[in-house]
Structures are given as C-alpha cells and as structure tokens.
C-alpha cells in the first residue's frame, strides 16, 4: 500500500465536501477520479497534495492518512507558474537535483527533457524563451514536462489534456503507459482515461467508490452493480411483504400466535438492502427507428471534388443503409465541407453525387444550435410535435436530460451545449433515416455526451458525422473516413482498432487504410453470390486465387465469431443461474466458480483469436486492392 486515506472527511466554510472517504494507491497504479462538476474532485487532489487537511475526529480510531514511506508528490494545476519572467530552461533546471553537468544522471535528465519537450510539440529553440511568451495552454505543457522529469512517487494531474491536440494527447497516453510511478488524474477526456488508467474512483454524494479497470469498464461495472442491487432489493421487499402478510393473517389466531411472532422477528432480523440509486445518466435501451426505411444505398459519389474556390478532396464513395461512419482529419482538410455537400447545402466543384430513394436527412452543425425563443423547452418541443401529449413530451425530454425544472427553462437562457442537445432531440424525434452531424457534442458535459451516445447507438438509420471527441467517435462510429493531404481513406473498423493498428505499423502512412474510392469495390465483391462468381468466365487465375484465400479466411472468421458468441452465452447463463440460486442469496459461495473461470478464460482466448482473424481478413482485403 503506497498511500491510504481511511474514513476521511473534509469540510470548508461549515460545509462537508468529502464525507468518510476511503482511498488507496497501490504501487504504480494509474487512477482516474470522476464525478459531476462541483462533486469535490479537485478537493481530493489538493488533499493528497497536502494543501488541505482532514477534519479532526476524536471519536473514530484508525482514520486518517497513512503512507508506506515519505512520498514525493507532484501536482499539475490549471494555473501553472507564478514567476513567468524565467526562461523555460531556468524553470526546468531549477528543479534538477543533479548539479554535476557531466554526471550520468544529469545526461539522462537532459535527454529525457529533450524527448518530452519535442514530444509536446515544442521546438528546441523555444527553451530560451521566457514563460510569459507562451500561451496558457503551452505553460501547462511546460509545467507537465517539469513534473514528469521529477518523477514524483505520486503525480496528480488536473485536466492534463486541456489545450492539447490529438497527436500530443496520443503521445502523452503512450508516455504515461510507460511511466513507472503512480498517477492520479481528473479528466473529462474519456478516451484518454480508457488508454491510461487501470482504476477509477467515482465521487458521488460526497463519498468515493472504487472500480477496477478503465473508464468503459467502470461504466459497465457500475451498471452491473446497480442491476444486481436492484434485484436484491426487490427480492428482499418481496420477502418482507410475504412475512408481514403471514403476520397479519395469523396474529389474531391463538393457535398461530407463536408462528406469527416468529415471522415478525424474522422480518425484523433481515439486514436491510439499500435501495440503489439509479444511474444519473439516462440511456436508450430500445431502438430508435426512422419513419421511412429508405433505399439500400443512401449516398453515392463518383469523382466528387469538394471545396469552395479550390478542391479540398476528391471522393468516389458510397454509403450503405445502417452504416455509422465517423470522419477524422485536421482542420481545413474538408470534413465539414463534405458534410455540407452530402446534405445538399453546397454543390460539388465537379463529379457526381446523389442520395438514394426516400432518403430523409437530419442535418446538424454549430449554427443549428443557435436557436432563440422565449418559450419554455417543453412548449418549444410540443409546438414542433403537436400530436404528442404533454406526458409524452415530458417523457421524451426527460430522456434527453430535460426533466422536471429543466423542461421549464426558457430556450433563450440555455447554454450552448443545452441548446445543441435540444436540437439533437428534435432531430431524432423527427425520425429521418440519414443523420449528418458536425461536432454534435461540443460544449457538452460527460452526462450529456453519454446520453446522446446511447441515442445514436440505438438509432437504426445511417449516420455520417465529424467529432473530435475520440470516445464518442469510437462508441458510435463502426468505420471511419480519414481526410489527409487532399486524400480520403476508408477504414472499415472502429477508431480504437485503427489507432492500435497505426501504432503497430508506425511509419506506414497508408498501410492501415483503404482508399474511400475502393470501398465500393469491396462492397461489390461481397454483394455478388458465390455461385455467380464462379460463372464469370473473365475472372483471372490471380483473382480466383485471391477470392479463394478470402473465402478461407472468412470461413474461419465466422467460425471464431460463433465460438465467441457460444462461450459468451454459456458464461452469462452460468452467472445468471447463480444469481437466481439459493446459494447466492444465502451468501454460501459459488459451487460453479471454477467452471465459470474456465469458461471465461476460453471466451477471452476465443476473442483474441477472433480479433486476430479480423485483422487477417482486413490485410487480405488490402492485398487484393493493392
């Protein structure tokens, strides 16, 4: 145990901010602290940094802060420096404990300094500049470099990815993964947390709850705990009702009075199961279906050049019904221009593009959310959908976080993120079959983002969108378009898969990507029945061999997928049977624990096999096209 807080309470101005919290750091754990704004996350960081003290409590024993040894703690704050007339080098080397410039330690320190400085996007000549010459975001980067060089036993980071571009954030992710000391961080960048942390503490109701794993695993585990506690609570309420019914039935019968008293005592002896608090983030469980299905091919383009005065990119590309495609690329590459062209808002410079039959578009960009109205949210929404009852309006708005008092706010006083959320709710309620979205989650908090993520994942129509939120991109998009250097590439897997492959083939710019204009060819190959392919006289021996190789890989891929599904179902059934058994509720342990562990191990191995075959299939498809 490196560091521990036991039953700690922190108050300020007579208000309790943290109440009886328990917090632990083991070894070099990477820990995230999550919670709503104002929950006390920064207070916890300040407590660990030693800037705050726990409230004194003479009634409790063994409470307080303990550490394995004397620890060094580094704390990256939003306000990085006070003495801004120093140069970068003066600031960095003022913290260096190796005074001998010719020592091995000093050499390693300076080498690490160079790696970090250039890794964060600075030029070597910037070292001579004064801190005051840098922007606030650049000063935060320099402060982070200083802390990383010092390598404290516990590094505290408060929003470390603010002001960083995606490339720098990705570099920082890899650096922290190899960092040999403990890190505790607060961040709203969920993808960054997924890539770096292995423990999550949720701060809610002034208390902390520890969850193993990264951010996504924390969310899944929390939902699972709520579900199990709800089931246990309902089961106990049924048992209490059964016992009370027996007491009421027999308490007035002389020959059953002892029996009734026994049942009353049994009900009183039950250890109460606390009613679980529902997850604060409403999620969509049921599919959101378009009003009209629309044609199989939603959008098609051939040698379409997009831009205004000059072409930004050229695409030969088509989108199939139900696809959810995210778009990546630097500013100015043509991402938003392509969305506007696809939506018909601006014409292409040359080439052809068209929508399929019965395709209805729902378009959103930042201008879409600049709505002004003196009506309340509920009245504004009801006017757009007059066939809905007031109860239905309230229910729908509640699912988009406009419940209760929020629905009574005037539209004109909503924040930018709230207006965007309202417009997106209107779009989804109008039930188009093709959503075109440009940065739909800008200025939204995590709660709003996760609600909309679940809505877009539940949407059964087609989505084409741009987003810089990598977690949102990875959750919603099933494939991605990459705009880069006036070229467009199509990648048929999710963002995390693309990122992992890009790291493995570092230095190969195109090896992990498929050109967008070749996606139609892949779709065409899949669409032709095998029997018809064999009847094509024109097929060359090379094409036949490639087709045969693809078929072999595909067969193994489908078999592996079936095996994963089979083992997953078996694991879920075994777990469900236990949770509904007498031994689970009696707390007697699990007789099938070994079987479940074995099945879980087999499932994990099957998943690895399936993933490897997915990559093999993709590489074979790439070889066919090159």
pLDDT given at position 546: 57
pLDDT digits (tens, 9 = 90+) for 413-427: 998 889 999 999 999
β-strand partners of 157: 76, 185
Determine how β-strand 182-186 pairs with β-strand 154-158.
parallel
Structure-token pair, residue 113: 């300094």
β-strand partners of 320: 297
Per domain, the residue ranges of the chain are 3-215, 220-269, 297-525, 532-625
Most confident of 109-113, 504-508, 556-560, 567-571: 109-113
Band of pLDDT at residue 521, cut at 50, 70 and 90: very low
Band of pLDDT at residue 563, cut at 50, 70 and 90: confident
As a whole number of angstroms, the distance between CA 163 and CA 150 comes to 22
Q: Who contacts 73 (Cβ-Cβ below 8 Å, separation ≥6)?
A: 48, 49, 50, 152, 153, 154, 155, 156
Band of pLDDT at residue 75, cut at 50, 70 and 90: very high
Of 604 and 392, which is predicted with more confidence? 392
DSSP 3-state helix, strand, coil percentages of the chain (rounded to 5)?
50, 20, 30
- Of the candidates 184, 156, 175, 77, the one whose C-alpha atom is nearest the C-alpha of residue 117 is 175
Q: What is the mean pLDDT of residues 309-323?
A: 91
Q: Topology of 3-215 in CATH?
A: Rossmann fold (3.40.50)
Asked, colleague to colleague, whether 3-215 and 297-525 share their fold, the answer is yes
Residue 26 has pLDDT above 90, yes or no: yes
Q: What is the mean pLDDT of the chain?
A: 85
pLDDT given at position 518: 47
pLDDT given at position 540: 44
Q: What is the mean pLDDT of residues 226-250?
A: 91
Band of pLDDT at residue 105, cut at 50, 70 and 90: confident
Of 245-259, 398-412, 422-436, 532-546, the one with minimum mean pLDDT is: 532-546
Structure-token pair, residue 464: 């084409």
Band of pLDDT at residue 245, cut at 50, 70 and 90: very high
Q: What is the mean pLDDT of residues 47-53?
A: 92
pLDDT given at position 47: 94
Residue 385 has pLDDT above 90, yes or no: yes
Residue 625 has pLDDT above 80, yes or no: no
Residue 501 has pLDDT above 70, yes or no: yes
pLDDT given at position 549: 62
Structure-token pair, residue 326: 């995210």
pLDDT given at position 390: 93
Residue 267 has pLDDT above 50, yes or no: yes
Residue 261 has pLDDT above 70, yes or no: yes
Q: Topology of 297-525 in CATH?
A: Rossmann fold (3.40.50)
């Amino acid at each position: 145990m490196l560091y521990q807080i036991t039953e700690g309470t922190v108050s300020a101005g007579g208000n309790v901010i943290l109440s009886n919290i328990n917090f632990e750091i083991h070894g070099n754990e990477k820990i995230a602290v999550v919670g709503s704004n104002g929950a006390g996350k920064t207070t916890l960081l300040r407590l660990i940094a030693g800037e705050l003290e726990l409230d004194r409590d003479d009634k409790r024993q063994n409470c307080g802060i303990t550490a394995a040894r004397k620890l060094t703690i580094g704390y990256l704050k939003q306000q990085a420096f006070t003495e801004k007339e120093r140069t970068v080098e003066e600031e960095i080397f003022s913290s260096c404990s190796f005074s001998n410039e010719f020592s091995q330690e000093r050499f390693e320190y300076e080498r690490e300094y160079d790696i970090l400085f250039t890794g964060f996007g600075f030029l070597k000549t910037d070292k001579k500049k004064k801190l005051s010459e840098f922007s606030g975001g650049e000063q935060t980067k320099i402060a982070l470099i200083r802390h990383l060089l010092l390598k404290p036993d516990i590094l505290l980071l408060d929003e470390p990815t603010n002001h960083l571009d995606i490339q720098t954030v990705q570099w920082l992710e890899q650096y922290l993964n190899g960092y040999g000391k403990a890190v505790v961080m607060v961040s709203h960048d969920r993808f960054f947390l997924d890539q770096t942390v292995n423990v999550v503490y949720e701060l809610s109701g002034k208390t902390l709850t520890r969850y193993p794993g990264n951010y996504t695993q924390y969310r899944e585990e929390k939902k699972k705990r709520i579900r199990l506690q709800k089931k246990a609570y309902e089961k106990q309420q049924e048992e209490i009702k059964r016992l009370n019914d027996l007491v009421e039935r027999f308490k007035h019968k002389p020959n059953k009075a002892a029996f009734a008293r026994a049942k009353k005592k049994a009900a009183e002896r039950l250890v109460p199961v606390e009613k679980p608090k529902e997850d604060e983030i409403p999620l969509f469980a049921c599919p959101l279906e378009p009003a009209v299905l629309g044609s199989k091919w939603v959008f098609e383009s051939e040698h379409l050049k997009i831009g205004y005065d000059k072409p930004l990119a050229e695409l030969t590309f088509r989108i199939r019904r139900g696809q959810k495609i995210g778009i990546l690329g630097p500013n100015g590459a043509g991402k938003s221009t392509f969305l506007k062209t696809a939506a018909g808002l601006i014409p292409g410079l040359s080439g052809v593009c068209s929508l399929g039959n019965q395709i209805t578009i729902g378009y959103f960009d930042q201008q879409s959310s600049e709505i002004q109205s003196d009506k309340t949210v509920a009245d504004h929404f009801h006017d757009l959908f007059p066939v809905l009852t007031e109860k239905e309006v309230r229910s729908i708005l509640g699912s988009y976080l406009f419940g209760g008092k929020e629905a009574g706010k005037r539209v004109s006083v909503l924040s930018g993120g709230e207006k965007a959320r309202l417009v997106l709710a209107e779009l989804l309620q109008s039930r188009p079959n093709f959503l075109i979205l440009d940065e739909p989650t800008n200025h939204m908090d995590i709660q709003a983002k996760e609600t909309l993520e679940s809505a877009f994942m539940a949407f059964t129509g087609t989505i084409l969108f741009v987003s810089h939120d990598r977690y949102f991109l990875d959750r919603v998009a099933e494939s991605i378009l990459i705009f880069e250097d006036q070229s467009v590439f199509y990648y048929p897997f999710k963002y995390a898969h693309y990122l992992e492959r890009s790291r493995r083939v570092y230095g190969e710019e195109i090896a992990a990507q498929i050109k967008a204009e070749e996606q139609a060819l892949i779709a065409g190959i899949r669409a032709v029945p095998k029997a018809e392919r064999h009847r094509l006289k024109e097929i060359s021996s090379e094409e036949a061999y490639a087709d045969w190789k693809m078929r072999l890989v595909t067969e193994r891929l489908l078999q592996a997928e079936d095996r994963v599904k089979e083992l997953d179902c078996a694991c879920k059934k075994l777990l469900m049977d236990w949770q509904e058994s007498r031994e689970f509720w009696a707390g007697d342990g699990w007789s099938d624990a070994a079987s479940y562990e074995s099945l879980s191990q087999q499932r994990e191995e099957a998943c690895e096999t399936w993933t490897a075959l997915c990559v093999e299939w993709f590489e074979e498809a790439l070889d066919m096209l090159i």
